[in-house]
Amino acid sequence: MVIDKRSEKIICVSVYNGKAHDLTIFKDTLKITPSIQVLADSGYRGIQKVHANTLYPKKHKDDVKRLSDEQIKALRETNSDISSKRMKVEHVIGRIKRFGIISERYRNRRKRFGLRLNLICGIVNFENSLRMAVT
């Protein structure tokens, strides 16, 4: 899912059949200009090999023995900054999950899931445009 952080608008939704890693879906379906900064979650480890202009939280558990206390503190602050930038995106994902069909197991025809997800994203975008117009 691609979301514009400023307008909180859902730009693109990609549906993938079966189980797949987030990074695999990103590689196969999305082509983003290198000048655009991507804010990703920790499920996208290794994305910098594909898209250099990316921010995602780094894990420090593997490097605790090698890092000093100052480096660990700096890493935590950096991760906190990245997660605070991602909050608007997480709020939009939460609005989508308010629809029970998205947050629970999908038990209908798989062919129509992409259509229904796009319709729900359209409703969320419409609600967002109404909310932005009021404020």
Kindly tell me the burial class for residue 39, based on how many C-beta atoms sit within 10 Å of its own C-beta (0-12, 13-18, 19 or more): middle
CB of 42 closer than 8 Å to CB of 61: no
- 3: alpha, beta or left, given left = phi > 0 and alpha = psi -120 to 50? beta
Could you report the per-residue pLDDT of 39-67, keeping only the tens digit for each? 888 888 888 888 889 888 887 666 556 77
DSSP 37: -
Q: What is the CA radius of gyration of the chain?
A: 17
Q: What 3-state class would DSSP assign to 2?
A: strand
Could you report the per-residue pLDDT of 27-41, keeping only the tens digit for each? 888 888 889 888 888
